[in-house]
Structure 1
Amino acid sequence: MTAAAQHYARLLAAHYTWMLGGDLQAAASGQLALLRDLDVHADPAADPAGAVAVDLGSGPGTQTLALTRLGFAPVIAVDTSDALLAELTAAHARTGGAPDAIRPLCRDIRGALPEAADPASVAAVVCMGDTLPHLPAKGDVTALLHDVARALRPGGHFVATYRDLTAELPGTERFLPVRSTEDRLLTCFLEYLDDDTVLVNDLLHTRSATGWELRTSSYPKLRLAARWVADQCRAAGLEVRHDEAGPRGLRVLHAVKP
């Protein structure tokens, strides 16, 4: 397991849906609106047998559920957390969706695309919610983007949302509140290790009948410059159509395979 996968297994997976606001369907609606704004949708004329999509780092499924609403099927949901994939499967079942519309795949996203789909067979690949910086090294990002380009059919879409952490925050600005409710409080603290890496320290307070309990965990995250990510997409053979700041401090990149 990567350090990020261990971090999620130790701490974040059990609270991830709460971090998103506690309502998976509402979070999926937000991702649906974003994808629609980028004109990402299934095209029955181009894919009469079904439009395959892959969600890299699916978590509990906000992007996966959005892709199914856009007509993609099957959607292959890739994540290292069995617990989050089980949550996604349950959420999809509650919507009454076809059981085969979603295919969970528990594994590291590195190398997942060649396993999940044949070359030039995928209509859309998404890697959203700050997943790219979770990879261990910048070379892994480059390799992943080349896998994306090989997997996409001509005209296929790639969408990534991620945080550009290259600008160093000073002093107490490195303390970032994530979410707070009556029974939980999550705060993040950033330590800049070098030009390529920041150490993310998550501090989770949970309230019980006896008081507050603190759990902590840390993992390294890549500092990916927006221009560098766009250049890697172009080097892989993708045409960048949208690359701008988006909601919640995330960069939104949309590229298409010519």
Structure 2
Amino acid sequence: MTEPSATTTTATTTTTTKAITHYEMLLAEHFSWMLGGDIPAAAAQQTELLRDLGVTPAGNGATAVDLGCGPGTQSLALVALGFGPVIAVDTSAELLAELAAYVKESGADIRPVHADLRTALREFTEPGTVSAVVCMGDTLTHLPTRADVTALLADVAVALSEGGHLVITYRDLTAPLHGTDRFFPVRATEDKLLTCFVEYADEETATVHDLLHTREGETWQLRTGSYPKLRIATQWLESHCREAGLTVRSSEMGQRGMRVLHAVRGG
């Protein structure tokens, strides 16, 4: 195996650190609010989405992996569908703590894991033992390079059992937006407002800038941050799923501008 150059390693680490730091410094404490403030309700929506795709366990003891679990909406959905255990992986200790508190209270068969998404399947699963892998909520675009995406797809194909499911939801940022089309309202309530806008750094990445306004009494405060996201084209992702040995069953536009890809191992 060829060792990566020092330059490549540094660039990848820096890109990864930017996304992790952005969540630690700005988004993590507000993430559940961003999802609507009702995690069980959000989980119910994800349950419906996965059920409509036909993502159900073949029997008892069907392990699932939630890559980029956040506070657990997809993990809870997988449990509701009958998967278990669910290995819930994220790089945010704060979001994992939020999920762990719910698991302790509910007894759900979810195992929160603080780990790098790029190595989690190799570290925490055995080949051919996983019934479902989900990577949702635009998590895939947080990876540093497209090469990381292809490597992750290869790991998914190894981890999945025959007929096992992969579900990815992501934004296709390959077509540049211009002017005010680059601005997106995320959520607004009486004392909090989050807006983001996108700039296109190069052919592979876009920079997302988040502007968070919070109110304390009569005073509004602004906090800002930015981090890179991958520009992943729909046809490119479908093609690399097939190259990894996965059969793409569906790939279409979902809600709120998110594309939904569903693939299975084998036929």
Answer whether TM exceeds 0.5 for this pair. Answer: yes
Please point out which of 179, 192, 195 is paired with 2:203: 195
Q: In the alignment, which residue of structure 1 is the partner of 2:39? A: 24
Identity fraction in percent? 63
Distance in structure 2 (CA, Å) of the matches to 1:210 and 1:21: 24
Q: CA deviation at 1:210?
A: 4.9
Equivalence for 1:108: 116
Secondary structure of 2:153 counterpart: helix
Which of 141, 149, 163 is the matching residue for 2:171? Answer: 163
The whole-number CA distance in structure 2 between the counterparts of 1:163 and 1:82 is 25
Aligned residue for 2:11? none
Whether 2:216 is the aligned partner of 1:208: answer yes
Deviation at 1:2, TM superposition (A): 2.5
> Partners of 1:248 and 1:218 in 2: how far apart?
21
* Cα pair 1:242 1:253 within 8 Å, conserved: yes
Match of residue 180 from structure 2: 172
The one-letter code matched in structure 1 to 2:68 is G
Per-residue CA shift, 1:189-217, capped at 9, x if unaligned?
Answer: 11111111110000000000250000001
Q: Deviation digits for residues 128-152 of structure 1, max 9, x if unmatched?
A: 0000100011100000000000000
| 8 Å contact from structure 1 (residues 2, 136) kept in 2 | no
Note if 1:237 corresponds to 2:237: no
Offset at 1:105? 0.7
Runs of 4+ in 1 over 3 A off after TM superposition: none
Q: How many residues align?
A: 251
Q: Secondary structure at the match of 1:164?
A: coil
Question: What are the ranges of 5 or more consecutive residues in structure 1 without an aligned counterpart?
Answer: none
Question: What pairs with 1:1-258 in structure 2 (closer than 5 Å)?
Answer: 2-44=17-59, 48=60, 50-94=61-105, 96-98=106-108, 101-258=109-266
Could you tell me how far apart the structure 1 residues matched to 2:225 and 2:44 are? 30
Distance 2:218 2:185 in 1: 24
Aligned CA RMSD, in angstroms, stands at: 1.0
Runs (5+) with no aligned partner, structure 2: 1-15
C-alpha distance in 1 between matches for 2:217 and 2:254: 40
Q: Could you tell me which amino acid in structure 1 is paired with residue 229 of structure 2?
A: K
Q: TM-score, normalising length from structure 1?
A: 0.95
* Deviation (angstroms), 1:92: 3.2
Residue 10 of structure 2 is matched in structure 1 by none
Q: Contact conserved, 1:65 with 1:92, CA < 8 A, in 2?
A: no
Alignment partner of 1:212: what SS?
strand
Residue aligned with 2:57, SS: coil
**In the aligned structure 2, how far is the partner of 1:229 from the partner of 1:91?**
34
Provide the C-alpha distance between the structure 2 equivalents of 1:216 and 1:31, rounded to a whole number of angstroms.
29
**TM-score using structure 2 length:** 0.92
